[in-house]
């Protein structure tokens, strides 16, 4: 912590994000701002004026300030001007933007105010859908000091999509702060007996999260394991569709959609297995939390998941979108409790060594420090050139 205080103490740091619902990127922003504030920096979090308010509630009591912005059109000069004014008012020293839209606006505001700018991409290549977005993103990268991708495949894709130098895009893994639950009540809530087996998944109910494949996997296992249940924590548009799919397979009483929950450690502690069926990811926080909890894990081989699970030494990796492979992975652990325990212990050890929140914050602080030092050198070089010109 002393090193973190040395690096960020007294800095004014801006964090920018376009959404403020309970997603992974938003959780990273909350954790970063809270941790950096505790280390002695002043943090200003820029949030959409018409958002849900979830992230603002997460930051309550942290000491971080909140500024609201409005994007009134696809290209909003009003938003750009407001960010520039806020950066100047708060005397921002370094700005950190997340995902496409705020990468562009944050890069503009940072360029106008002369402060270093860092972009983090969490896995959504929204910029790649249209040429004008690619051009905007490429300009944002050019004006920024560092682009961070949360997985190596995402870093490779960004370099390829935008044609930027390899040195401009680095990989920096997510981290979480895991806390032991005080109460573990999910099994009672679901009226499960001691003989029932429970698989847990955590993630919003969007197609990319692949929850439908988890239900299909349970359908393949339902006769072999008649007391096997699946509980999914998350919210989203697919709630009705997933319930319908469970009914089609005769799994109404064995698939449990929990909605948005704040007691994820307790949910993980109640699980026999954790499943991550995503079709695409960067590095999901839910996976890291399951690792810290010592859950035996079956996960699709997407994004940085293979690295997190140590190439399969800390969990079973399966092909994304393949419900048969997902079922086989779950069956492997359900039928071999000793193997499940071994993988759960390995996952917990891997998480403690690589994915603690403090490690992530320290790494970002080093990125900020490098950007600030580079800018200071640049300013000194410009000053020397100006002095030489004046003398001539």
Average pLDDT over every residue of 129-135: 88
> Half-sphere exposure of 160 toward its Cβ, with a 13 Å CA cutoff?
7
What pLDDT sits at residue 129? 80
In which band, very low, low, confident or very high, does the pLDDT at 58 lie, cut at 50, 70 and 90? very high
Going from the C-alpha of 30 to that of each of 25, 47, 357, the distances in angstroms are 9, 11, 12
Point out the least confidently predicted range of 176-180, 209-213, 341-345. Answer: 176-180
Average pLDDT over every residue of 171-182: 92
> Half-sphere exposure of 269 toward its Cβ, with a 13 Å CA cutoff?
14
Average pLDDT over every residue of 153-165: 93
Point out the least confidently predicted range of 8-17, 71-80, 320-329, 382-391. Answer: 382-391
> 379-390, pLDDT tens digit by residue?
666 566 667 665
> 218-272, pLDDT tens digit by residue?
999 999 999 999 999 999 999 999 999 999 999 999 999 999 999 999 999 999 9
In which band, very low, low, confident or very high, does the pLDDT at 346 lie, cut at 50, 70 and 90? very high
Point out the least confidently predicted range of 120-129, 155-164, 346-355. Answer: 120-129
> 293-337, pLDDT tens digit by residue?
999 999 999 999 999 999 999 999 999 999 999 999 999 999 999
In which band, very low, low, confident or very high, does the pLDDT at 73 lie, cut at 50, 70 and 90? confident
DSSP at 116: -
Give the burial string for 6-27 (b: 16+ CB within 10 Å, else e). Answer: ebbeebbbbbbbbbbebbbbbb
SS3 315: coil
Structure tokens at 89: 């008012």
Tell me phi and psi for residue 213, to 5 degrees: -70, -30
Report the percent of the chain where pLDDT is more than 90: 85
In which band, very low, low, confident or very high, does the pLDDT at 72 lie, cut at 50, 70 and 90? confident
pLDDT at 391 over 60: no
Question: Which domains, from first to last, does the chain contain?
Answer: 2-175+356-386 (3.40.50.2000), 186-354 (3.40.50.2000)
Query: In terms of Cα–Cα distance, which of 137, 9, 18, 149 is closest to 83?
Result: 18
SS3 36: helix
43 beta partners: 13
What pLDDT sits at residue 374? 87
Q: What is the pTM of this model?
A: 0.90
- The mean of the pLDDT values for the chain is 93
In which band, very low, low, confident or very high, does the pLDDT at 50 lie, cut at 50, 70 and 90? confident
Query: In terms of Cα–Cα distance, which of 6, 4, 78 is closest to 34?
Result: 4
């Amino acid at each position: 912590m002393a090193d973190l205080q040395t690096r960020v103490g007294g800095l004014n740091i801006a964090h920018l994000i376009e959404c403020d619902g309970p997603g992974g990127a938003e959780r990273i922003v909350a954790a970063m701002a809270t941790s950096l504030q505790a280390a002695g920096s002043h943090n200003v979090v820029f949030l959409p004026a018409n958002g849900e308010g979830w992230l603002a509630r997460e930051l309550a009591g942290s000491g971080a300030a909140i500024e609201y912005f409005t994007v009134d059109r696809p290209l909003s000069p009003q938003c750009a001007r407001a960010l520039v004014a806020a950066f100047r008012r708060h005397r921002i020293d370094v700005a950190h933007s997340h995902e496409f839209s705020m990468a562009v606006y944050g890069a503009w505001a940072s360029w106008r105010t002369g402060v270093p700018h860092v972009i983090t991409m969490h896995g959504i290549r929204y910029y790649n859908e249209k040429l004008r977005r690619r051009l905007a993103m490429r300009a944002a990268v050019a004006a920024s000091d560092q682009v961070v991708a949360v997985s190596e495949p995402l870093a490779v894709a960004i370099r390829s999509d935008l044609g930027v130098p390899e040195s401009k895009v680095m990989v920096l893994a997510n981290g979480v702060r895991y806390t032991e639950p005080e109460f573990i009540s999910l099994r009672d809530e679901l009226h499960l007996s001691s003989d029932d087996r429970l698989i847990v998944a955590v993630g919003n109910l969007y197609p990319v999260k692949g929850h439908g494949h988890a239900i299909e996997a349970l359908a393949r296992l339902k006769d072999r394991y008649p007391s096997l249940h699946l509980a999914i924590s998350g919210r989203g548009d697919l709630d009705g569709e997933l319930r319908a799919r469970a009914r089609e397979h005769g799994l109404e009483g064995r698939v449990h959609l929990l909605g948005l929950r704040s007691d994820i450690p307790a949910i993980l502690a109640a699980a026999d297995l954790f499943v991550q069926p995503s079709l695409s990811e960067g590095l999901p926080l839910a996976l890291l939390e399951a690792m810290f909890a010592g859950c035996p894990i079956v996960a699709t081989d997407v994004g940085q998941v293979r690295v997190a699970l140590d190439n399969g030494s800390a969990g079973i990796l399966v092909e994304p979108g393949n419900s048969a492979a997902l079922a086989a992975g779950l069956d492997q652990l359900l039928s071999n409790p000793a193997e499940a325990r071994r993988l759960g212990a390995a996952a917990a050890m891997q998480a403690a060594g690589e994915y603690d929140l403090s490690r992530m914050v320290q790494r970002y602080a080093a990125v900020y420090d490098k950007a600030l030092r580079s800018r200071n050198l640049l300013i000194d070089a410009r000053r020397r050139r100006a002095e030489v010109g004046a003398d001539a």
